[in-house]
Amino acid sequence: MTTRNIGRYLSWPTNRLAALLAPTGIPPNVITCSALIFNFWASLLFASGRFAAAGGIMMIAGLCDLLDGPVARLQNRVSLFGAFLDSIFDRYADLMLFLGLLVYYVHVDRFRYAVLTGAAMAGAVMVSYAKARANSLVPESDVGFWDRPERLALMIIGALANRMSPVLWILAIGPNITVIHRIVHTWMQTEGVKRAATKQATKVSAGKSAAQFPPIAPRGSSDPSPILTRTAGRGR
């Protein structure tokens, strides 16, 4: 929901800028690669402790992330490979940024924040993987809050304000909670389908059994069962 709201607010300026870039003929994949390069630059700045500068470069990288899709649509170059490449580069960009922070905290001997960075890195990767994997199993898996736009926005704010410590605490906890949320959500949907299928199979099986074995006549019925008839014959 929050991701959709962010996209809605930024759609107008992004579309205007994409309309200016599209006539130049720049390939959308070049814009995607540029985002990765800028994020690599930001990771180097994080590693050297220049957080504010890293936040500024992340903003440029984020702009490239927003532009490649609209430019591809305006140039009629939308492709499955482009979407695949964008997803792969997004994962690399996330890992680069956290790796830069990890190098910095190891260098300044801040073990606690190095551990937090590692937990945040794991959450960033797993929250995306959990969504992608769930999409192949259930029709709706877009649950939780900490998708990539929210994570990057928080990192940019923390970097520009030079307050990465609280940001790392949030990113170490929040995305991993979202992973758990998506696991539970996917389990409920898959188990629901399984139970519905089992219930339907039980009904079908019961219907077949009823057709194959007709009910026994109740006691006191005027039509004696074959068993009673055979028993009476043996007693004669």
Query: What string of pLDDT tens digits covers the 236 residues of the chain?
Result: 555 555 566 677 888 899 999 999 999 999 999 999 999 999 999 999 999 999 999 999 999 999 999 999 999 999 999 999 999 999 999 999 999 999 999 999 999 999 999 999 999 999 989 888 888 888 776 777 888 889 999 999 999 999 999 999 999 999 999 999 999 989 988 886 666 666 666 666 666 655 554 554 544 444 544 443 444 444 43
Domain count, the chain: 1
Contact 186, 141 (CB under 8 A): yes
Where residue 96 sits, what CATH number does that domain have?
Answer: 1.20.120.1760
Range of the structural domain that residue 81 is part of: 2-194
Domain presence at residue 206: no
The answer to whether residue 140 sits within a structural domain is: yes
Dihedral of the CA atoms 191, 192, 195, 196 (nearest 10)? -150
Domain assignment present for residue 201? The answer is no
* Within-domain flag for 72: yes
CA atoms 99, 104, 106, 110: torsion sign: negative
Confirm whether 166 is domain-assigned.
yes
Up-side HSE of residue 19: CA atoms within 13 Å toward CB? 6
pTM: predicted TM-score of the whole model, two decimal places: 0.77
